[in-house]
Amino acid sequence: MTDSSVGQGVRLLAGRYQIGELIGRGGMADVRVGTDARLGRRVAIKLLKPSLANDPAFRTRFRREAQDAAKMAHPTIVRIFDAGEETVTDPSGNEAQIPFIVMEYVDGRLLKDILAEGPIEPAEAVRIVGQVLTALEYSHRAGVIHRDIKPGNIMIANNGQVKVMDFGIARAISESSATIAETSAIVGTAQYFSPEQARGESVDARTDLYSTGVVLFELLTGQAPFRGENPVAVAYQHVNQNPVVPSSLNPKVSHAVDAVVLNALAKDRFQRFQSATEFREELEAAGAGTAPTKRVSVPVIDFNSTLFGVNPQATAGSEAALRQLTIDQDARGSRTQSRPPVLWIWVGIAVMLVIVIAVVAWTLELPKDSPNISAGLSHIVPKTSGLNYATAASRLRARTLVPEKTFETSPTVPANVVIRTDPAEGSSVQTKQVVSVYVSQGPSAVAVPDVTGLSVAAANAELSQFGFKVGSTTKLNSPNIKKGIIISTSPAGGSTGQAGDSVDLVVSTGVVVIPNVVNQSASEAGATLQQLQLDVTSVPDNKCSGGIVMSQSIKGTQPQKSKITITICTGN
539, 525 contact by CB (below 8 A):
no
76 and 223, same structural domain?
A: no
Neighbours of 162 (CB within 10 A): 23
493 and 400, same structural domain?
A: no
129 and 79, same structural domain?
A: no
Q: Which of 36, 55, 107, 148 is catalytic?
A: 148
In a domain, 308, yes or no: no
464 pLDDT higher than 50: yes
Give which of 72, 81, 82, 29 is closest to 53, Cα–Cα. 29
d(CA 66, CA 241): 36
552, 565 contact by CB (below 8 A):
yes
Helices 276-287 & 205-221 angle (0-180, nearest 10): 20
33: number of CA atoms within 13 Å, CB side? Answer: 9
d(CA 536, CA 523): 12
Tens-place pLDDT, residues 479-528: 999 999 999 999 888 887 777 788 999 999 999 999 999 999 988 998 99
345 pLDDT higher than 50: yes
**39 sits in which H/E element:** none
500, 467 contact by CB (below 8 A):
yes
The number of folded domains in the chain is 5
421, 384 contact by CB (below 8 A):
yes
Per-residue pLDDT at 534: 92
Q: Is 549 helix (H, G, I), strand (E, B) or coil?
A: strand
Per-residue pLDDT at 567: 93
175 and 223, same structural domain?
A: yes
Based on the residue annotation, tell me whether 148 is a catalytic residue of this protein: yes
d(CA 157, CA 110): 9
In a domain, 96, yes or no: yes
122 and 178, same structural domain?
A: yes
The domain spanning residue 64 has which CATH number? Answer: 3.30.200.20
In a domain, 360, yes or no: no
282 and 210, same structural domain?
A: yes
Q: What is the DSSP letter of 455?
A: B
d(CA 491, CA 385): 32
193 and 74, same structural domain?
A: no
240 and 145, same structural domain?
A: yes
237, 212 contact by CB (below 8 A):
no
In a domain, 62, yes or no: yes
66 and 52, same structural domain?
A: yes
38 and 70, same structural domain?
A: yes
435 and 396, same structural domain?
A: yes
Domain boundary residue, one of 80, 104, 128 = 104
Q: What is the DSSP letter of 51?
A: G
pLDDT, average across residues 83-99: 75
The domain spanning residue 166 has which CATH number? Answer: 1.10.510.10
395 and 543, same structural domain?
A: no
325 pLDDT higher than 70: no
Q: Which range marks the domain in which residue 244 is found?
A: 108-287
Tens-place pLDDT, residues 217-272: 999 999 999 988 778 788 888 888 889 999 999 999 999 999 999 999 999 999 99
In a domain, 338, yes or no: no
Tens-place pLDDT, residues 143-164: 888 888 999 899 999 989 999 9
pLDDT, average across residues 450-466: 88
Q: The dihedral of CA 251, 129, 154, 109: what is its sign?
A: negative
d(CA 241, CA 481): 65
**163 sits in which H/E element:** strand 162-164
Task: Report the b/e string of 248-276 with b at 16+ CB within 10 A.
Answer: eebeebbebbbbbbbbbbbbebebbbebb
52 pLDDT higher than 70: no
Lowest mean pLDDT among 21-25, 70-74, 197-201, 356-360: 356-360
Residue 134 exposed, middle or buried by CB count within 10 Å (0-12, 13-18, 19+): buried
Give which of 192, 149, 188, 145 is closest to 168, Cα–Cα. 145
The domain spanning residue 559 has which CATH number? Answer: 3.30.10.20
Domain boundary residue, one of 104, 124, 147 = 104
